[in-house]
């Protein structure tokens, strides 16, 4: 039994905040942000809640899969900015979609949340318990950054991405995946209840490159695929310098990485599904391609997934 990816979708808030806008808010410059991170602008959800963004991405993904919300058996939302303490954002999304057939829960693994959610959904599908799953990454990080702290506020943005997965009797799009965590490093990146994001950036940078490389090598090994065979890498968009170092260490030309951090900044759990959708839309990702997804985030958590899209 296999898992096919049958639809993708995104929701991106209309409001754009550029580096030049930030220059007026904190002591920073477009030059610093661009050269240190690759970010030029990010989206800010002024009007939209995290559930509304999740709904927008889900409806687009369902439409591209030619399915209705009622066809879905499992709804997973990866988020570090849940709408409420409880119920889960996934349950609120289920209500918004008018789905009564399935069950819903959130995955809390910060920026690695989408990788974790994909593995959970894939496992439930392959075990025969679930036939169709909706996996969403949705974040309203603008509410959890301190807009007077230049070391973090320039990095993050809002948005949502979704994929629809379906059980298949023959081939699987998900070839291999691995999740990791090391709770002893939690204080490198965290936010207290109702608090702002706190980050030890330089430390995190080094761990991110090392751990994502390790995760990528493990999934490639498990699938018997060499790095040169990978057609596209869709990494978590935290910093373009992290992406470039990762590509270099893996020995994959950096042109094979999908990068959209310039337009959206770091959208945490939403970054991979947004990038995946754009890669499909832009024709960078075609059916049959080997695609490597990888992320690293608070927890610390990290992981990788290899797809034959």
Catalytic machinery residues: 111, 236, 266
Distance CA 60, CA 46 (A): 21
Contact pattern from residue 160 through residue 189 relative to ligand UT7, giving x for each residue in contact according to CB under 6 A and a dash for the rest: -----------------------------x
CB nearer to ligand UT7: pick between 35 and 68 = 35
Contact characters 42-81, ligand UT7, x per CB under 6 A: ----------------------------------------
How far apart are CB 202 and ligand UT7 at their closest, in Å?
Answer: 4
Cα-based angle 194, 198, 200 (whole degrees, multiple of 5): 165
* Binding of residue 123 to ligand UT7 (CB under 6 A): no
Contacting residues for 79 by C-beta, under 8 A, at least 6 apart: 50, 54, 89, 106, 107, 108, 113, 137, 138, 139, 268, 269
Q: Which residues pair with 290 in a beta bridge?
A: 308
Q: Does 24 sit near ligand UT7 (CB under 6 A)?
A: no
**Beta carbon nearer to ligand UT7, 85 or 202:** 202
Q: Is 297 in the site for ligand UT7 (CB under 6 A)?
A: yes
- Contact window for ligand UT7 (CB under 6 A) among 62-70, 72-80, 122-130, 237-245: 237-245
Residue from 13, 3, 291 nearest 161 by CA: 13
Among 151, 168, 181, 244, binds ligand UT7 (CB under 6 A): 151
Which one, 190 or 205, has the nearer CB to ligand UT7? 205
Three-state SS at 140: strand
Specify the residue, 135 or 296, whose C-beta has the smaller distance to ligand UT7.
296
Secondary structure letter of residue 166 according to DSSP: E
Q: What number of residues does the chain have?
A: 309
Task: Enumerate the H helices of the chain as residue ranges.
Answer: 19-23, 30-37, 50-64, 89-97, 113-126, 150-153, 201-223, 240-250, 261-264, 271-281
Residues that bind ligand UT7 (CB under 6 A): 28, 32-33, 36-37, 111, 150-151, 154, 189, 201-202, 204-205, 208, 238-239, 242, 266, 296-297
């Amino acid at each position: 039994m296999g898992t096919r990816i049958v639809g993708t979708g995104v929701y991106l808030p209309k409001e754009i905040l550029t580096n030049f806008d930030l220059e007026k808010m904190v002591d920073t410059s477009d030059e610093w942000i661009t050269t240190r991170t690759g970010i030029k602008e990010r989206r800010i959800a002024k009007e939209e809640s995290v559930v509304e963004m999740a709904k927008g991405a889900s409806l687009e993904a369902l439409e591209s899969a030619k399915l209705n919300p009622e066809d879905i058996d499992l709804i997973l939302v990866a988020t570090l900015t849940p709408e409420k303490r409880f119920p889960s954002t996934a349950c609120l999304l289920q209500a918004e979609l008018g789905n009564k057939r399935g069950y819903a829960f959130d995955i809390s693994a910060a920026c690695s949340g989408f990788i974790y959610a994909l593995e959970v959904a894939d496992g439930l599908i392959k075990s025969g318990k679930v036939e169709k799953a909706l996996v969403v990454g949705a974040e309203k990080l603008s509410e959890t950054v301190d807009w007077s702290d230049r070391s973090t506020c320039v990095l993050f943005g809002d948005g949502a991405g979704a994929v629809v997965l379906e059980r298949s009797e023959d081939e699987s799009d998900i070839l291999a995946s691995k999740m990791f965590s090391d709770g002893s490093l939690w204080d490198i990146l965290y936010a207290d209840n109702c608090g702002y994001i706190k980050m030890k950036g330089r430390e995190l940078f080094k761990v991110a490159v090392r751990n994502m490389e390790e995760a990528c090598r493990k999934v490639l090994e498990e699938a018997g695929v060499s790095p040169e065979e990978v057609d596209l890498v869709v990494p978590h968009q935290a910093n373009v310098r992290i992406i470039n170092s990762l590509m270099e260490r893996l020995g994959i030309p950096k042109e094979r990485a999908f990068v959209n951090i310039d337009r959206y900044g770091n959208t945490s759990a939403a970054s991979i599904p947004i990038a995946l959708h754009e890669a499909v839309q832009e024709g960078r990702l075609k059916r049959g391609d080997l695609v490597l997804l990888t992320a690293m985030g608070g927890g610390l958590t990290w992981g990788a997934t290899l797809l034959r899209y």
